[in-house]
């Protein structure tokens, strides 16, 4: 009874705190501008099933994909055992499903144990790849400090989770032979039926009961810790990969989106009446592109929070491969860090971040009046966004359909169209197009060749 009450309290606190954090992440994502996303629902659902659930794009590199698959599938099937632990914890029953499912229960738990062994091997290999083999994509400049620790923490957490599972099942398999009335038979489990007696055989029943409870509590507390750790970790992709793939663009990757502001300007130039439109004269000049997360779209911010920091985008980037500063992964990490900075200021209602023309007594800080005199350009350098070749290699490489290029283009457009700035060797090109309608500073009409062809 005491254990059930304690379990209920811990569970409610864990889920309550986690819910609060996940709602904060949702709020942060919607700090971005509205973006209407529509399209073929069936195609979007198919993308979720194949890419997010089926891990389709992971298998472009089959060795890490296979290892990741063990951890991923083990994670999915372990939820069955987790449901039983929750029922047992609230009711005080031991192995609630065992007498109900019989042989099917033995098969399910055995399958989970086999997957767990695979997950154990995969975890060891991943730790070695990160810290022993030191794959270059895990040791870029942006991966120092917390990102490196974050990657290792979750792998060590996976080992702790496996210790809990096999301690619980192993001790339980021995207790079934000593006290069948309180420990219902689970059948011959694939791993624990021999591992349990090998590790715990000959121990007293009281000691076995302690080990079994230790494994049970270690398993559930690790799950709760992981649940509350997710919002601060790159492993948030476990949850966000599904909505991110659903809302990913369905258009071909090479297609660049036109800016409505530019289209409206061109239309007004081609319409003589627009020059005398009083409403047009009073409108503020539009801001072209984006310089901060508040004028990126919510989908861009969802991309940033979904980023797995796997580095596949950066390892495929031709600019990065030739030694340039651009790292698509760093772009996504910078966007997420900047979003977190803004969110913390809004949560603390920092008066220094209220826009000058909005200051006043009792004014609450929000995304509508936010201005801390900083932008994304304080996180990344101009050289990074100039290095992009817009080849879409990063977009193609991402296993969860993140689009770093969309953010890079918006930053470039802000720099060139709003700030009238850009790399020195680009400006003559822009001036030539603006003044002569040609990239080569030749004043001839661009369609002159077509007219000559028609007249010949």
| pLDDT tens, N- to C-terminus, the chain (456 residues) | 788 999 999 999 999 999 999 999 999 999 999 998 888 899 999 999 999 999 899 988 888 899 899 999 998 888 888 999 999 999 989 999 999 998 999 999 999 999 999 999 999 999 999 999 888 888 888 999 999 999 999 999 999 999 999 999 999 999 998 888 889 999 999 999 999 999 998 899 999 999 999 999 999 999 999 999 999 999 999 999 999 999 999 988 878 888 777 777 777 766 666 554 555 544 566 778 899 999 999 999 999 999 999 999 999 999 999 999 999 999 999 999 999 999 999 999 998 999 988 888 788 999 999 999 999 999 999 999 999 999 999 999 999 999 999 999 999 999 988 888 888 888 788 888 777 777 776 666 666 777 788 887
Which sequence spans correspond to the domains of the chain? 2-30+61-246, 260-423, 425-456
At 444 the pLDDT is: 61
Give CA separation, 162 vs 75, 114, 128, in Å: 11, 11, 18
Which residues are bridge partners to 370 per DSSP?
A: 354
- Taking the mean position of all CA atoms in its chain, how far away is CA 359? 35
Closest CA to 188 of 255, 126, 105, 270: 105
At 447 the pLDDT is: 67
Question: d(Cα 68, Cα 72) in Å, to the nearest integer?
Answer: 6
Q: What is the CATH number of domain 2-30+61-246?
A: 1.20.950
CB count within 10 Å of CB 269 equals 10
At 433 the pLDDT is: 78
At 446 the pLDDT is: 62
At 386 the pLDDT is: 93
Question: d(Cα 208, Cα 204) in Å, to the nearest integer?
Answer: 6
Give CA separation, 344 vs 10, 25, 33, 347, 353, in Å: 27, 11, 18, 5, 11
Gyration radius of the chain over CA positions: 28
At the second CATH level, the architecture of 260-423 is Orthogonal Bundle (1.10)
Phi, psi of 145 (to 5 degrees): 75, -130
């Amino acid at each position: 009874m005491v254990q059930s009450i304690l379990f209920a309290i811990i569970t409610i606190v864990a889920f309550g705190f986690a819910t609060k954090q996940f709602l904060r992440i949702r709020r942060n994502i919607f700090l971005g501008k509205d973006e209407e996303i529509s399209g073929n629902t069936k195609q979007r659902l198919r993308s979720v099933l194949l890419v997010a659930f089926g891990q389709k794009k992971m298998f472009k590199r089959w060795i890490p994909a296979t290892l990741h698959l063990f951890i991923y599938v083990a994670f999915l099937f372990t939820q069955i055992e987790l449901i039983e632990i929750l029922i047992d914890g609230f009711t005080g029953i031991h192995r609630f499903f065992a007498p109900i499912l019989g042989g099917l229960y033995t098969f399910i738990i055995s399958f989970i144990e086999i997957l767990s062994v695979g997950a154990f091997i995969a975890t060891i290999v991943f730790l070695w790849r990160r810290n022993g083999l030191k794959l270059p994509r895990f040791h870029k400049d942006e991966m120092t400090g917390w990102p490196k620790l974050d990657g290792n923490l979750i792998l060590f957490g996976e080992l702790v989770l496996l210790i809990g599972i096999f301690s619980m099942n192993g001790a339980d398999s021995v207790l079934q032979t000593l006290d069948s009335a309180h420990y219902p038979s689970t059948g011959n489990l694939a791993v624990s039926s021999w591992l349990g007696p090998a590790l715990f055989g000959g121990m007293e029943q009281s000691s076995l009961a302690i080990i079994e409870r230790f494994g049970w509590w270690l398993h559930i507390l690790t799950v709760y810790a992981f649940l509350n750790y997710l919002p601060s970790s790159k492993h948030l992709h476990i949850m966000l990969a599904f909505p991110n793939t659903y809302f990913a663009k369905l258009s071909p990757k090479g297609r660049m989106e036109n800016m409505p502001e530019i289209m409206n300007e061109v239309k007004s130039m081609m319409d003589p009446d627009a020059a005398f439109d009083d409403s047009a004269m009073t409108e503020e000049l539009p801001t072209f592109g984006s310089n901060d997360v508040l004028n990126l779209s919510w989908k861009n911010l969802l991309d940033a929070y979904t980023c797995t920091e796997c580095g596949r985008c950066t390892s495929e980037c031709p600019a990065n491969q030739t030694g340039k500063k651009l790292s698509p992964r760093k772009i996504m990490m910078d966007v997420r860090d900047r979003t977190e900075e803004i969110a913390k200021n809004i949560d603390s209602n920092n008066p220094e971040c209220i826009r000058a023309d909005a200051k006043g007594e009792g004014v609450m800080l929000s995304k509508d009046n936010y201005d801390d005199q900083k932008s994304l350009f304080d996180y990344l350098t101009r050289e990074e966004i100039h290095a992009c070749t817009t080849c879409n290699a990063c977009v193609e490489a991402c296993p969860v359909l993140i689009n770093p290029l969309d953010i890079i283009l918006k930053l470039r457009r802000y720099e060139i169209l709003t700030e009238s700035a850009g790399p020195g060797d680009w400006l003559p090109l822009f001036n030539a197009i603006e003044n002569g309608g040609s990239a080569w500073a030749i004043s001839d009409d661009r369609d002159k060749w077509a007219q000559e062809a028609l007249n010949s």
